[in-house]
Amino acid sequence: MSKKGIISLVAAGLLASSLSVGAVKAEGNKYELSKKSIESQIEKPLNKGIIDSRTFNQLEKEVKESQSYLTKSLNKMRVMSSAAASDEEYLLEMEYNDTFNTANATSYNMPTIGQLLPLYDVDFHKVVVPQNGLLMVAGGTNSYAIDLVFAAMQKDFVENDKLVYLGSEYEEGIEYQVYQAKGGTYYVGVIDNDNNYFDDNTEEDLYALATAFADNVAPNKPTVNKVDNNDKVVTGKGESGATITVKNGNTVAGSAKASSNGNFTVNMAVQKAGTKLTITAKDKAGNVSPSVSVTVVDGTAPSKPAVNKVDNNDKVVSGKAEANSAVTVKRGDALLGTTKAAANGSFSVSIPVQGAGAKLTVTAKDSAGNVSPSASVTVADVIAPTKPTVNKVDSNDKVLTGKAEYNSTITIKNGKTVLATGKTPKSGSFSVAIPVQKAGVKLTVTAKDGAGNVSSATTVTVVKH
């Protein structure tokens, strides 16, 4: 590699064989193996748009200002004191830092300045990635004596998908490397790649490293609870602190922030059943989750059906209910019949004939499964009692006896004149007091039930005593 202040390191973890983990001074043969490994790699250019311009500019500024600091301050100092932990604007390398366990801590807020002395010196700098996202490392040097090579890696050179090298870019003496990293602790290893047979570095030959983190990982799509056409909120769970947005088509229906535990409640206007809502979560970095769709369900029960009169002759129950709803007729818990209401709401449910006084309940269930309040109807008695049987009546009798429907009212007439009335007891036998009638008179006897139905008349002729 030609010496140009910074030489591109084209893959993460390739310093593994060169960095000594036991002493300040690495063994030369390991260094040579590392150098060959690095030079054998094909450079991987950084795709455009991976680093946003703001982050890029910040890294460039930190490294360039560090280089200015190196020239001005350290020329006066002549030496970097290992006892000096930091400056107001910079972190200073502290030896020994040539193992993972002794690595110097980095900061996203200020760059690190270091030396590569003595020959085959290796430096480790620890960087903590707070969550899944992009780890960016930039480096530069103030000296042509240093052929700067650096890379981010996992402890003990472990390689897996926790840290994935995305590429590098070299611009105006600064190299920028980008990694897709999962939250955790990583290390930046640094060496001077021009250590051939002698060390031409001095205490004035220094390098600067700057690190940055960017959240480029979109939140998982939110989980959303059922929404019906009565709801004025959408609830669910998303990424903590994310902004949850609910849309109806391209129209924003509402938005709110998820709480620290991820729960969210978004206020919105009531939506019609069948409306498709899309919900997304946007984190603080502006990453937007995949959308989740929820269809507003019908949560409004139908109105209770209107039911026509049902009598003890009827074999159907008819009326009106919500269009296309399923109408069910029950007597107590017993299902008598069901049918689907027509488009105009009319229905006719076939049932077995019910006894007078039976209480029927009628409900309507819509396609969403919402059940209406029940409508009650009592089966009316429209069947007249059978005509009474009447015993012989003679011209001396002061009572008229016979049999008729229980609890019916017995009426005795002579022509149009009512002679007497009476109630039939539980046994059905009745005895009604009447005035003595002349032989040959024709009496009519009827029974009227509690519903007002009147039987056919029974005619009896008074006989001579």
pLDDT of residue 204: 85
Q: Is residue 15 part of a domain?
A: no
Q: 378, 409, 436: which is the final residue of a domain?
A: 378
Instruction: Please give the angle made by the CA atoms of 54, 58 and 60, to the nearest 5 degrees.
Output: 120
Residues 369 and 393 in one domain: no
Structural domain includes residue 40: yes
170 — pLDDT class (breaks 50, 70, 90): confident
Question: In this predicted structure, which of 154-168, 281-295, 350-364, 390-404 has the lowest mean pLDDT?
Answer: 154-168
Q: Using CA atoms, how far apart are residues 302 and 372, in angstroms rounded to an integer? A: 5
Answer yes or no: is 290 within a domain: yes
CATH of the domain at 145: 2.60.120.380
pLDDT at 244: 98
- Residue 70: the pLDDT is 47
- Which of 352, 378, 404 marks a domain boundary? 378
Residue 46 belongs to what domain range? 28-214
Residues 132 and 171 in one domain: yes
Judgement on whether residues 173 and 246 belong to the same structural domain of the protein: no
201 shares a domain with 64? yes
pLDDT at position 444 over 90:
yes
How high is the mean pLDDT of the chain? 85
CB 142 within 8 A of CB 71: yes
Residue 229 and residue 207 share a domain:
no
Residue 58 carries which DSSP code? H
Kindly state whether residues 132 and 205 are assigned to the same domain.
yes
pLDDT digit string (tens) for 187-213?
A: 998 888 876 656 678 888 899 999 999
Give a yes or no: residue 300 inside a domain.
no
Give phi and psi for 29, each to the nearest 5.
-65, -35
Between 138 and 70, the more confident residue is 138
The number of distinct structural domains making up the chain is 4
Please indicate, yes or no, whether residues 73 and 188 belong to a single structural domain of this protein: yes
Q: Which one has a higher pLDDT value, 44 or 443?
A: 443
Q: Helical H runs in 46-193?
A: 53-77
Can you tell me which residue has the tokens 């030896």?
Answer: 95
12 located within any domain: no
The CATH number linked to 400 is: 2.60.40.10
Percent of the chain with pLDDT over 90: 65
Residue 84, pLDDT score? 38
Domain's final residue, options 214, 231, 266: 214
Q: Name the helix (H) or strand (E) containing 39.
A: helix 28-39
Looking at 80-94, 134-148, 149-163, which range is the least confident one? 80-94
Do 180 and 77 fall within a single domain? yes
Instruction: Reply yes or no on whether the pLDDT at 89 is more than 80.
Output: no
| Whether residues 101 and 209 fall in one domain | yes
Asked if pLDDT for residue 1 goes beyond 60, the answer is no
Most confident of 46-50, 186-190, 239-243: 239-243
Query: Which class for 149: exposed (0-12), middle (13-18), buried (19 or more C-beta within 10 A)?
Result: buried
How much is the pLDDT for 304?
97
pLDDT at residue 10 greater than cutoff 50: no
Phi, psi of 426 (to 5 degrees): -60, -35
**Does residue 345 share a domain with residue 312?**
yes
- Asked if the model's pLDDT at residue 3 lies above 70, the reply is no
- 143 and 187 in a single domain? The answer is yes
In a domain, 235, yes or no: yes
Q: Do 131 and 252 belong together in one domain?
A: no
17 domain residue, yes or no? no
Confirm whether 2 is domain-assigned.
Answer: no
pLDDT for res 17: 27
Above 50 in pLDDT, residue 29? no
Q: How far apart are CA 22 and CA 26, in angstroms?
A: 8
